[in-house]
């Protein structure tokens, strides 16, 4: 950290010159964009856009994930001083990243939301940038994947979660965070044979051909096994990584709407994400952070680290493969 810079840097989300570089303003001060990236709606020359989707209309238990993007941005202020530990690269210095801000939508007109989100992500992709999205409940991944499938075809998906989100629901207009994967498979935006779920520890009647690696398997057979299977399944296909924060055990990340015991520890998730380096990742998200249920802020900190790791995976796929 350049301590001398902290004396004069502030509000770099608005005052930064250029789109690359670390940031050294005081972590407790200033405008809290994600990793102190520049807030911008202009995507010319941008590699990656961070965007927030503060939507939690579809949760089955505790609401509050609409505050996830704000909390994750604030927690990320601890990270932009140095390159990410353990990576032989520094995406903030080597890649043009902006904070594209949040999706605007009418909270009182829920049926219009999915189309708005698909168009939002589609516009970013059309400009040539990728996305890392801060949620929001897990329903948001379905409209996002629709935009990705329009560009890349049926997607390979790596899905970290306590739940399969494969509840059978053939009403495609119904909005529910527990059905996004089911509807993605049924409508052809997710390729089940090229997708994998990691960390599962709740019942599912039918996985629709999707391989799953439950939490116990990760604990007993290790991160290396889970990563090797995930790599084999997605291959070199364009891949989307979605991380529900309740994949982590509630002792690590209590601030979520549907916590389930027996989950991954943060070190296991960190190792999984890091060891996936080299997959053809074209986008990702972290969802279900509900800060009201975690007075320590640990869940938002975990969410910010997950999003930073997704940036690293995207950078590795784009520039290092």
DSSP letter string, 83-101: PPTT-SS-HHHHS-EEEEE
pLDDT at residue 321, as a whole number: 62
Q: Is 282 buried (19+), middle (13-18) or exposed (0-12) by CB count in 10 A? A: buried
- Beta-carbon count within 10 A of 150 CB: 14
What is the model's pTM? 0.97
Q: 165 a known binding residue?
A: yes
Q: 47 a known binding residue?
A: no
**First and final C-alpha spacing in the chain:** 29
Q: Are 302 and 248 spatial neighbours (Cβ–Cβ below 8 Å)?
A: yes
Q: 120 a known binding residue?
A: no
pLDDT at residue 5, as a whole number: 74
Q: 161 a known binding residue?
A: yes
pLDDT at residue 60, as a whole number: 86
Q: 138 a known binding residue?
A: yes
Residues of the chain with pLDDT under 50: none
Report the candidate in 135, 108, 173, 157 with the shortest Cα–Cα distance to residue 257: 135
Q: Are 208 and 182 spatial neighbours (Cβ–Cβ below 8 Å)?
A: yes
List the strands of the sheet with 97-102, edge to edge. 38-39, 97-102, 48-53, 130-135, 281-287, 239-244, 156-160, 196-200, 211-214
Q: Give the separation between CA 184 and CA 166, rounded to whole angstroms.
A: 9
Which domains does the chain show, CATH number per domain?
Answer: 3-320 (3.40.800.10)
pLDDT at residue 167, as a whole number: 94
Q: Give the separation between CA 165 and CA 200, rounded to whole angstroms.
A: 10
Q: 246 a known binding residue?
A: yes
Instruction: Tell me the two tokens of residue 217.
Output: 């398997």
pLDDT at residue 3, as a whole number: 63
pLDDT at residue 2, as a whole number: 64
């Amino acid at each position: 950290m350049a301590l001398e810079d902290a004396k004069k840097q502030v509000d770099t989300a608005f005052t930064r010159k250029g789109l690359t570089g670390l940031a050294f303003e005081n972590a407790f001060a200033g405008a809290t964009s994600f990793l102190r990236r520049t807030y911008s709606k202009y995507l010319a020359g941008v590699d990656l856009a961070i965007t927030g989707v503060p939507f939690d209309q579809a949760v089955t238990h505790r609401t509050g994930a609409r505050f996830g993007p704000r909390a994750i941005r604030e927690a990320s202020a601890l990270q932009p001083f140095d390159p990410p530990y353990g990576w032989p690269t520094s995406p903030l210095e080597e890649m043009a990243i902006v904070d594209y801000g949040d999706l605007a939508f009418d909270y009182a007109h829920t049926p219009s939301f999915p189309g708005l989100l698909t168009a939002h992500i589609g516009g970013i992709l059309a400009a040539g940038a990728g996305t890392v999205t801060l949620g929001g409940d897990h329903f948001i991944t379905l409209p996002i994947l629709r935009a990705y499938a329009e560009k890349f075809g049926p997607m390979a998906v790596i899905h970290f979660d306590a739940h399969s989100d494969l509840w059978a629901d053939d009403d495609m207009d119904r909005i529910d965070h527990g059905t996004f994967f089911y509807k993605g498979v049924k409508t052809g935006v997710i390729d089940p044979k090229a997708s994998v779920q990691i960390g599962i520890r709740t019942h599912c009647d039918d996985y629709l051909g999707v391989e799953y690696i439950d939490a116990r398997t990760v604990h007993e057979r290790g991160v290396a096994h889970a990563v090797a299977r995930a790599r084999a399944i997605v291959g070199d296909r364009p891949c989307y990584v979605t991380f529900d924060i309740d994949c982590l055990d509630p002792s690590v990340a209590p601030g979520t709407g549907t916590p389930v015991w027996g989950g991954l520890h943060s070190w296991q998730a960190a190792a999984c994400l890091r060891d996936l380096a080299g997959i053809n990742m074209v986008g990702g998200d972290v969802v279900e952070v509900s800060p009201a249920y975690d007075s320590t802020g640990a869940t938002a900190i975990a969410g910010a680290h997950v999003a930073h790791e997704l940036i690293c995976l995207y950078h590795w796929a784009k520039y290092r493969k």
